[in-house]
Amino acid sequence: MSRPLGIIIAVSLVFLVGILQGAMASTKTTVIAEKLAFPWSMAALPEGGFVVTLRGGQLIYVAPNGSKQPIELSLPDLYATAQAGLFEVLLAPDFASTRELVLSYACGSEAANNTCVVKGNLSAQAPYSVINTQNIFTALPKKAGAAHFGARMAWLADDTLLIALGDGFVHREQAQQLDNHLGKIVRIHRDGSTPDDNPYKHSQASQIFSYGHRNVQGLIYDEQRDAIWQHEHGPKGGDELNKIVAGGNYGWPIATYGIDYTGAKVSPFNQLPGVKAPLYTWTPSLAPAGLALYNGDLLVSHLVGRRLQRFRYSHDSWTLTDEYLSELGQRIRAVYTSPDNEVYVLTDSAEGQLIKVELP
Amino acid sequence: MLRVLLAFIIAVVGAALVGSVMQTQFNLAELTALSVSVDMPTRMNTIVHDLLHFGPVFAAMLVPTLIIAFVIAWLLAKRFVRLERWWFIVGGGFGLATAFLIIDSLAPMPTLIAANRTTLGFVLMSATGAFAGWIFDRLWHPQARELNEELPK
């Protein structure tokens, strides 16, 4: 064997081993709680343990030892069926002193529903209950059907709340109309009032922060980079990772990398002038359903993809570097990084689990 | 039997072609209503894409639907012979409309075919089933005057 060839082979082997190590990066998983019926989101409490939402409408306290207790919660207008139900729980930035949290859920009836958000106070100690619940947002118009509610939320640095919404599936063109909340991300104060510095001033859309979304399932504010990262489901292909800016149009349904489930084109255009292009697209769709920051990296959990992906930041974009948890074979609804920098995921099934994940 | 099979295949292909091109126009019309400009080459490319990708899916919906619809039409035609052509036309149309409703009630999404979201779209897409019924009976049992039609020169 000639010397150059040997060097090439040796370098290739080292490179290959590196890739394989990256691809098969080992993770340690610990099941904290199980038999959670379709858990949707979670938050770590400062006193220990977690609050977990179940899509069916229950709020659960999971103690550090994994025991579960229901949390008393009254949502009289909850609509729970198919994709509809109780969605995100988010603790207020000053939760430690105020015990305030916000919850998103599908409200209304089969004939007329959309996404609602309430704020409330979690009692100081177990057995927990949510008291003083007060509606702070109702997405309009109410529409029929139980699909595409969005419902992920994030606090910005100024303590305003972003609420991501869906297009209701059959109303996709409404995502481009600024007189309704379908396919939008809205920004409100915690008391439900509208910030003065939202991008659109007219009364019909004063809460709109960005538009042209299909079904947002991941939303997070990155304090380190002062940026908002988001992902949303495309139809068949075209799931998107986006950087959200005020007033941005994210294209659905006039520009998309996906096609309809029937094979028909939703739009002939992947990109259009005035439309924010995605930073990353998943085709075929992995159905990203959760988004978290971990040591400056993005973690994305997937339903159809049944894995956790890790993205590294460079030059205002994200590069896929690692994949984890495919060995579980589970749909992963959410990924969450606790204030003490531990990573957790929620698996999506009638017997879902809350799993602690130690990443390499 | 070969005649029936050929007539059925041509009916399915014909309806799939017409339905595919039609739903493309509905989808593009929604975009142009949002002030998106769609030039003719883009429209043609979209039509071809949908013929290749939506067409087979639509044909797969048409096959079982039309088998059931045409068997019922045939049974009715045996009893009311003079209305045979109409039984196949009406059977194909109603059969496809029923299939759309059943699929939409079973599928996770409220409306599988986007063009069916409007009443006009639903009626016209269902009408492709009627078109299939006409093609099928025209080829299977052509009427005397149709057999005497001269081919265009």
pLDDT surpassing 80 at residue A222: yes
In this complex, how many residue pairs, one in chain A and one in chain B, have their CB atoms less than 8 Å apart? 68
**How close, in Å, is residue B80 to chain A by CA atoms?**
38
Q: What is the pLDDT of residue A5?
A: 54
Q: What is the pLDDT of residue A8?
A: 54
Selecting from A144, A254, A263 the residue whose C-beta is nearest the C-beta of B57 gives A263
A302 catalytic? Reply is no
> Which residues in chain A (170-189) have CB-CB distances under 8 A to chain B?
170, 172-173, 176
pLDDT in tens, A249-283: 999 999 999 999 999 999 999 999 999 999 999 99
pLDDT surpassing 80 at residue A21: no
Q: Per residue, what are the HEC states of chain A?
A: CCHHHHHHHHHHHHHHHHHHHHHCCCCEEEEEEEEECCEEEEEECCCCCEEEEECCCCEEEECCCCCEEEEECCCCCECCECCECEEEEEECCCHHHHCEEEEEEEEECCCCEEEEEEEEEECCCCCCEEEEEEEEEECCCCECCCCCCCCCEEECCCCCEEEECECCCCCHHHHHCCCCCCCEEEEECCCCCCCCCCCCCCHHHCCEEEECCCEEEEEEEECCCCEEEEEECCCECCEEEEEECCCCECCCCCCCCCECCCCCCCCCCCCCCCCCCCCEEECCCCCEEEEEEECCEEEEEECCCCCEEEEEEECCEEEEEEEECHHHCCCEEEEEECCCCCEEEEECCCCEEEEEEECC
- Range A121-141 average pLDDT: 96
B143 at interface of A, judged by CB pairs closer than 8 A: no
Selecting from B31, B53, B110 the residue whose C-beta is nearest the C-beta of A263 gives B53
Q: Are strands A280-282 and A239-244 parallel, antiparallel or unpaired?
A: antiparallel
Selecting from A169, A264, A265 the residue whose C-beta is nearest the C-beta of B109 gives A169
Of B80 and A6, the one with more pLDDT? B80
Q: In this structure, which amino acid lies at residue B52?
A: L
Selecting from B108, B110, B113 the residue whose C-beta is nearest the C-beta of A262 gives B113
Q: Is A77 exposed, middle or buried (0-12, 13-18, 19+ CB in 10 A)?
A: middle
pLDDT surpassing 90 at residue A336: yes
- Counting every residue written for chain B, the total comes to 153
Q: Please state which architecture CATH assigns to domain A29-358.
A: 6 Propeller (2.120)
Question: B30 to chain A: nearest residue by CA?
Answer: A173
Chain A residues close to B34, C-beta within 8 Å: 173, 176, 254
Instruction: Report the complex ipTM.
Output: 0.91
B23 at interface of A, judged by CB pairs closer than 8 A: yes
Question: B45 to chain A: nearest residue by CA?
Answer: A268
B27 at interface of A, judged by CB pairs closer than 8 A: yes
pLDDT in tens, A91-119: 999 999 999 999 999 999 999 999 999 99
Q: What is the pLDDT of residue A16?
A: 47
- Range A220-243 average pLDDT: 97
pLDDT in tens, A48-58: 999 999 999 99
Chain B residues close to A261, C-beta within 8 Å: 109, 112
A272 at interface of B, judged by CB pairs closer than 8 A: yes
Question: A274 to chain B: nearest residue by CA?
Answer: B36
Chain A residues close to B117, C-beta within 8 Å: 170
Q: What is the pLDDT of residue A3?
A: 56
Work out the percent of chain A whose per-residue pLDDT is above 90.
Answer: 87
> Which residues in chain B (56-95) have CB-CB distances under 8 A to chain A?
56-58
Q: Which two tokens stand for residue A306?
A: 């049944």
Q: CA separation (Å) from B41 to A232, A235, A260, B37, B47?
A: 30, 24, 21, 12, 10
Domain ranges of chain A: 29-358
- Range A120-125 average pLDDT: 96
> Which pLDDT band, with edges at 50, 70 and 90, does A201 fall under?
confident
pLDDT surpassing 90 at residue A1: no
CA angle A86, A92, A97 (to 5 degrees): 130
> Which residues in chain A (195-224) have CB-CB distances under 8 A to chain B?
none
pLDDT in tens, B114-149: 999 999 999 999 999 999 999 999 999 888 888 877
pLDDT in tens, B23-37: 999 999 999 999 999
Q: What is the pLDDT of residue A9?
A: 57
Chain A residues close to B20, C-beta within 8 Å: 264
A262 at interface of B, judged by CB pairs closer than 8 A: yes
- Range B15-19 average pLDDT: 98
B126 at interface of A, judged by CB pairs closer than 8 A: no
A5/B9 Cα distance (integer angstroms): 59
Spatial contact of A151 and A102, defined as CB atoms under 8 Å apart: no
pLDDT in tens, A183-195: 999 999 999 999 9
Q: What is the pLDDT of residue A15?
A: 47
Q: What is the pLDDT of residue B145?
A: 82
- Range A149-175 average pLDDT: 96
> Which residues in chain A (135-174) have CB-CB distances under 8 A to chain B?
144-145, 147, 169-170, 172-173
Question: A173 to chain B: nearest residue by CA?
Answer: B30
Q: What is the pLDDT of residue A29?
A: 97
Selecting from A170, A176, A265 the residue whose C-beta is nearest the C-beta of B27 gives A265
Question: What are residue B91's phi and psi, to 5 degrees?
Answer: -60, -45
On average, the pLDDT of chain A sits at 93
Domain ranges of chain B: 2-142
